[in-house]
Amino acid sequence: MSVSNPMFGEQPFKIGLFSANCSGGLAVTTVPEQWAAEWDEIVELTCLAEDGGLEFILPVAKWKGYGGESDILGRSYETFTHGAALAALTTKMTIFVTVHVPLVHPTYAAKSLATIDHISRGRVGLNMVCGWNQDEFDLFGVAVDPDRRYEQGLEWYRLLMKLYDGGPEFSWNGDFYSGQHMHTNPLPIQRPRPITMSAGVSPQSQEFAAVTSDFLFTAVAALKNAPSLIGDMKSYAGKFERDIGVYTMSHVVCRETRKEAEEYFYFFAEECADRDALSYYEAKKGVKMANADRGGSVSPTNRLPGQVYTGSYPGAYPLVGAPDDVAREIIHMHELGLDGMTIAFVNYLDELPFFLEAVLPRLEVAGIRLPVGKIP
Ligand SMILES: Cc1cc2nc3c(=O)[nH]c(=O)nc-3n(C[C@H](O)[C@H](O)[C@H](O)COP(=O)(O)O)c2cc1C
């Protein structure tokens, strides 16, 4: 069967949905309209995104929320099973699964991923995350050594690749994984493996992506930093004679007018920010989000591009404004060398239609998106 995964398609700047499998999406807020992650709504959203021409859907792997009133990410659909179901309900999009490498043995991942690749006829994508929150791993009784996360990730990937070679049974006695009589059947439709992505921001995550991934999914909080990040990533990958696409994540607030969009952003992400949930994130990450960029003197009337509020998800670039404003910033991302991005909304189903109707045509006029019917 000939396979063409949309992530390798002609679309110049690729766009996908992120975190719609989780309650709260990427908004650390208490507003009542926040995303509830109901299955029927996820199905409706995915079909809307596919019909509207988006390339992919990318779920977050999550086992525990951040507490606070919202308990953002507290309810989440497991990503292999979520992917298998969406694969059966769609025909064009790439369906990513996000895998915590310390929690899923490669033998299990190889079979699950191949299963979804067959269901989707070659449209599955693997997003590898090495994880950061020991609280989540505690649910499994697994301790992750933060200093060896990427070493473990590399061994995980190498073992997966060996299984996907499809050769005779073998044994594996590594530092992190072991097994006897190892093989997998069926092999994935995409050969030698499904497309891969990995998510992270550190230099170690870039080195890992250089060896394992077709795409690095990262957080470009300040767009001015994008060219150097992309340059670093391309040079890491170049050492292995590979090319790699760089994607970032955004949160979209698009309304008829800039004023409306700015006011809503301020309302949900500053006035109704879930500060306890953000504190949990900061405590677990061992970071303090810079307050100069997070609220403080910022208000809906003087927010500068890229500035965020307390309840903005860390690392998600805020695309806020009228359709012209949002399109302008996306075009700028493309000019800076990014290959694509993810989008998220406070309420995906309420807000995606306007993005598709009003922003995508502007990106088509700018030549960074092909109209749906024009994609070969
Ligand atoms: C864009 C992006 C998406 C991520 N998605 C997940 C996820 O779904 N689940 C998870 O546990 N960690 C996720 N992470 C966290 C990474 O796996 C990683 O643990 C984190 O970025 C810290 O590692 P680093 O300092 O090497 O970047 C994500 C990170 C980024 C930047």
* Cα(265)–Cα(318) distance, integer angstroms: 9
Q: What atom in ligand 1 is closest to the CA of residue 60? A: 8
Structure tokens at 181: 């009589």
Task: List, for residues 177-205, the tens digit of each pLDDT value.
Answer: 999 999 999 999 999 999 999 999 999 99
Q: What atom in ligand 1 is closest to the CA of residue 129? A: 17
At 290 the pLDDT is: 58
- pLDDT-derived band at 131 (thresholds 50, 70, 90) equals confident
DSSP E strands, 139-287 = 170-173, 178-182, 195-199, 215-218, 245-254
Task: Please indicate, yes or no, if residue 223 is contained in any of the structural domains.
Answer: yes
By the 8 A CB rule, do 174 and 155 touch? yes
Separation of CA 154 and ligand 1 centre (Å)? 16
DSSP E strands, the chain = 14-18, 56-58, 94-100, 124-129, 170-173, 178-182, 195-199, 215-218, 245-254, 317-321, 340-343
Task: List, for residues 259-288, the tens digit of each pLDDT value.
Answer: 999 999 999 999 999 999 999 999 999 888
Among protein residues, the one with the nearest Cα to ligand 1's atom 4 is 199
Task: Please indicate, yes or no, if residue 75 is contained in any of the structural domains.
Answer: yes
Task: Please indicate, yes or no, if residue 270 is contained in any of the structural domains.
Answer: no
By the 8 A CB rule, do 321 and 327 touch? no
Structure tokens at 342: 């993810």
At 299 the pLDDT is: 76
Separation of CA 169 and ligand 1 centre (Å)? 33
Give the domain CATH number at 168. 3.20.20.30
Rounded CA Rg of the chain:
20
Could you tell me if the CB of 202 is within 6 A of ligand 1? yes
Query: Whole domain around residue 39: which residue ranges?
Result: 6-264+316-374
Ligand 1 pocket: which of 17, 72, 128, 132 to mutate (most atoms within 8 A of CB): 132
Could you tell me if the CB of 63 is within 6 A of ligand 1? no
Q: Which amino acid is at 52?
A: G
Question: What are the helix (H) ranges across 299-358?
Answer: 323-335, 348-354
Total domain count for the chain?
Answer: 1
Task: Please indicate, yes or no, if residue 190 is contained in any of the structural domains.
Answer: yes
* Residue 238 CA from chain centroid, whole number: 24
Identify the CA nearest to 129 among candidates 102, 95, 164, 162: 102
Task: Please indicate, yes or no, if residue 279 is contained in any of the structural domains.
Answer: no
**Residue with structure tokens 């992919």?**
56
Task: Please indicate, yes or no, if residue 194 is contained in any of the structural domains.
Answer: yes
Indicate the Cα dihedral angle 44, 376, 12, 325, nearest 10°: -50
Separation of CA 103 and ligand 1 centre (Å)? 15
- pLDDT-derived band at 292 (thresholds 50, 70, 90) equals very low
Task: List, for residues 87-127, the tens digit of each pLDDT value.
Answer: 999 999 999 999 999 999 999 999 999 999 999 999 999 99
Task: Please indicate, yes or no, if residue 282 is contained in any of the structural domains.
Answer: no
Asked if residue 188 has a cis previous peptide bond (ω within 30° of 0), the answer is no
C-beta neighbour count of 133 within 10 angstroms:
17
Separation of CA 149 and ligand 1 centre (Å)? 12
Among protein residues, the one with the nearest Cα to ligand 1's atom 12 is 131
CA torsion sign, 65 to 14 to 375 to 118? negative
Q: What is the DSSP letter of 304?
A: P
Show the CA angle centred on residue 198, arms to residues 196 and 204, nearest 5°.
135
Task: Please indicate, yes or no, if residue 213 is contained in any of the structural domains.
Answer: yes
State the average pLDDT for the chain.
Answer: 94
Q: Which amino acid is at 225?
A: N
Identify the CA nearest to 58 among candidates 131, 127, 106: 127
